[in-house]
């Protein structure tokens, strides 16, 4: 028996990124144009623009990102030096199927991931692979209308089957869709676009369209889980949500009910993907709103046959909700929630709530009794380089350390099964929401800047040796 006051010996410590935020090489070796290749650079409070194709006079940070495509060997050496047991990234779908509707894959794209996974395995680092991390071929949006078109299920399944077959002996841990629930905030065009190639605000009945799109993704995800298990029963295939606990703003019962109902906007996704069926509360909501979701015969059975093996979450912050929200305070990035006056926030307004991580883990584990993988957590900040290339990111160490402490309580005091912990942006990368380089998360600094300057050289931050020690002590020294 393992001691109950410690993390399990096989705990998966590592780091996380996504293909489009690190790789660059946006048009190399036969890769097709991805939806993120037409996302301009934004800033805090300045939206990223979705352009109509790639335009000459627009800056697209994901085109170069941090050039992981050429630097991955050097980067993996650094991950190994930190002691990573796993590394989470995604496969860029358009590297494998440039347009998404081809019948045979692009061999050069497959070869790249073969080499990447071999390099990780050389250091005993398990790849943890997301099939769609805010990526799909742009062609599927332009010619098929994104995930509103049921035909996308087949394209996604073909892509999934292809990579499962190819990497079944290299990749054990898979995640179908990254933060599938972001698009529930349909008023924010970035989320619908990155999740599904959709801009819900353009439709007369945006919520109806959103639920239809989501249904297609639920079916696609469940089919992928089923096919993956048939290809290799040892593969563990999870679903993922962006977990942001919403606390009631006060102890008024009405605020409590509001918090419970708002959390359904997240739980719907894990309820369907982990339990394999739609919960009754959503049927009631659809009836009230007159929403009709087309489901084909056999869809219910598909959902039931493709339940996720584990639930992956990203956790950055919590927010609060009120029955009657003060409209001038709501946080547009996160729907109708607002900031908690009891918590501090990062420069980007992301609140720091380590205790919320323990709360979230217990809530989810008690709901599903399935292992939980924390595949994102981290602190986006501006890092200053001091003389001698020292980067003292003690604020990042403080954030991560406090979250790890609460995660350990969830495991050792509450009995939550946590599979692993992969802090986001373990190497600096392009921010998703703003497209900035200056919002850095890494243990490894990359010399690349928002004005386009920089030579992509890598440097270790203070947090690098701190995290090395965390892993070496299996979380005892934090």
Query: Considering CB under 6 A, how many residues would be counted as binding ligand BG6?
Result: 14
Footprint of ligand BG6 on 361-380 (CB under 6 A)? 376, 380
Catalytic residue status for 376: yes
Pick one of 7, 12, 18, 320: the residue that binds ligand BG6 (CB under 6 A).
18
Q: Helix axis angle, 206-231 relative to 189-196, nearest 10°? A: 30
**Residue 62 makes contact with ligand BG6 by CB under 6 A:** no
Minimum distance of ligand BG6 from residue 65's CB (angstroms): 11
CA angle 136, 138, 144 (to 5 degrees): 95
- Tell me: does residue 33 bind ligand BG6 (CB under 6 A): no
Q: Per CB under 6 A, which region of 212-220, 244-252, 356-364, 431-439 contacts ligand BG6?
A: 431-439
Q: Does 383 bind ligand BG6 (CB under 6 A)?
A: no
Long-range contacts of 52-58, Cβ-Cβ distance < 8 Å, separation of 24 or more: 53/138
Please state, in angstroms and rounded to a whole number, the distance separating the CA atoms of residues 321 and 471.
Answer: 36
Q: Look up residue 313 and give its DSSP letter.
A: E
**Is 130 among the residues that bind ligand BG6 (CB under 6 A)?**
no
- Quote the radius of gyration of the chain (alpha carbons, Å): 21
Shortest distance, position 445 Cβ to ligand BG6, whole Å = 16
On whether the CB atoms of residues 462 and 82 are closer than 8 A, the answer is no
Return all residues near 249 (Cβ < 8 A) that are at least 6 apart: 255, 320, 321, 322, 338
Q: Which of residues 223-242 bind ligand BG6 (CB under 6 A)?
A: 242
Smallest distance, ligand BG6 to C-beta of residue 169, A? 27
Catalogue the E-assigned strands of 77-226.
86-90, 126-132, 173-177
Of residues 376, 384, 406, 417, which has the active-site annotation? 376
Task: Show the site string, 159-198: x = touches ligand BG6 by CB under 6 A, - = not.
Answer: -------------------xx-------------------
Site for ligand BG6 in 297-316 (CB under 6 A): 314
- Orientation of helix 253-270 relative to helix 354-368, angle to 10°: 60
Under the criterion CB under 6 A, does residue 266 sit at the interface with ligand BG6? no
Q: Of 431, 332, 323, give the one whose Cα is nearest residue 376.
A: 431
CA dist 401 and 277 (Å) reads 37
Residue 66 binds to ligand BG6 (criterion: CB under 6 A): no
> Do 467 and 421 form a contact (C-beta atoms < 8 A)?
no
The answer to whether residue 11 forms part of the interface with ligand BG6 (CB under 6 A) is no
Q: How many Cβ atoms are within 10 Å of 277's Cβ, its own excluded?
A: 11
Cα dihedral sign, 39-41-47-51: negative
Residue 135 near ligand BG6 by CB under 6 A: no
Give CA–CA dist 120/153, Å, rounded. Answer: 30
Is the CB of 139 or the CB of 242 nearer to ligand BG6? 242
Q: Nearest approach, Cβ of 47 to ligand BG6 (angstroms)?
A: 12
Tokens 């392009």 found at: 430
Alpha carbons within 13 A on the beta-carbon side of 475: 25
Interactions with ligand BG6, residue window 408-427 (CB under 6 A)? 424
Minimum distance between the CB of residue 433 and ligand BG6, rounded to whole angstroms?
3
Q: Which residue is nearest to ligand BG6 (CB)?
A: 433
Least distance (Å) between residue 451 CB and ligand BG6: 19
**CB under 6 A: which stretch of 28-36, 67-75, 265-273, 428-436 binds ligand BG6?**
428-436
Q: Is 64 in the site for ligand BG6 (CB under 6 A)?
A: no
* Contact footprint for ligand BG6 (CB under 6 A): 18, 21, 178-179, 242, 314, 376, 380, 424, 431-434, 439
State the catalytic residues: 376
């Amino acid at each position: 028996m393992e001691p109950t006051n410690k993390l399990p010996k096989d705990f998966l410590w590592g780091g996380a990124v996504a293909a489009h935020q690190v790789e660059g090489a946006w048009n190399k070796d036969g890769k097709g144009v991805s939806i993120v290749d037409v996302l301009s650079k934004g800033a805090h409070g300045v939206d990223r623009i979705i352009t109509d194709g790639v335009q000459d006079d627009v800056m697209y940070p994901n085109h170069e990102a941090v050039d992981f495509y050429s630097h991955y060997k050097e980067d993996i050496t650094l991950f190994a030096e930190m002691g990573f047991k796993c590394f989470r990234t995604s496969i860029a779908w358009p590297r494998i199927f440039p347009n998404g509707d081809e019948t045979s894959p692009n061999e050069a794209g497959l070869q790249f991931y073969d080499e990447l996974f071999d390099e990780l395995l050389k250091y005993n680092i398990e790849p943890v692979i997301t099939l769609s991390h805010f990526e799909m071929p742009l062609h599927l949006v332009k010619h098929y209308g994104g995930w509103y078109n049921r035909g996308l299920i087949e394209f996604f399944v073909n892509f999934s089957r292809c990579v499962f077959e190819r990497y079944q002996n290299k990749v054990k841990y898979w995640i179908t869709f990254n933060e599938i629930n972001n698009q529930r905030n349909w008023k924010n065009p970035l989320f619908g676009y990155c999740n599904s190639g959709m801009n819900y605000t353009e439709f007369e009945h945006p919520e109806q369209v959103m639920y239809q799109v989501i249904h297609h993704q639920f079916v696609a995800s469940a089919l992928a889980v089923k096919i993956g298990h048939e290809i290799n029963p040892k593969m563990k295939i999870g679903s993922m949500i962006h977990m942001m606990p919403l606390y009631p703003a006060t102890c008024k019962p009405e605020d409590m009910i509001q918090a419970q109902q708002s959390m359904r906007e997240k739980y719907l996704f894990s309820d369907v993907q982990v339990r394999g069926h739609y919960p009754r509360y959503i049927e009631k909501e659809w009836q009230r709103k007159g929403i009709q979701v087309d489901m084909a015969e056999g869809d219910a059975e598909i959902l039931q046959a493709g339940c996720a093996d584990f639930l992956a979450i990203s956790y950055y912050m919590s927010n609060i909700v009120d029955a009657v929200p003060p409209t001038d305070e709501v946080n547009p990035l996160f729907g109708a929630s607002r900031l908690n006056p009891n918590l501090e926030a990062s420069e980007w307004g992301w609140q720091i709530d380590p205790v919320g991580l323990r709360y979230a883990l217990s809530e989810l584990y008690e709901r599903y009794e399935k292992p939980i993988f924390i595949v994102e957590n981290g602190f986006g900040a501006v890092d200053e380089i001091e003389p001698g290339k020292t980067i003292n990111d003690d604020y990042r160490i403080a954030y991560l350390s406090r979250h790890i402490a609460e995660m350990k309580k969830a495991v050792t005091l509450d009995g939550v099964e946590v599979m692993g912990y992969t802090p986001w942006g373990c190497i600096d990368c392009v921010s998703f929401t703003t497209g900035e380089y200056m919002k850095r998360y890494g243990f490894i600094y990359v010399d690349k800047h928002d004005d386009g300057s920089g030579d992509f050289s890598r440097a270790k931050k203070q947090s690098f040796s701190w995290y090395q020690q965390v892993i070496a002590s299996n979380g005892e020294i934090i």
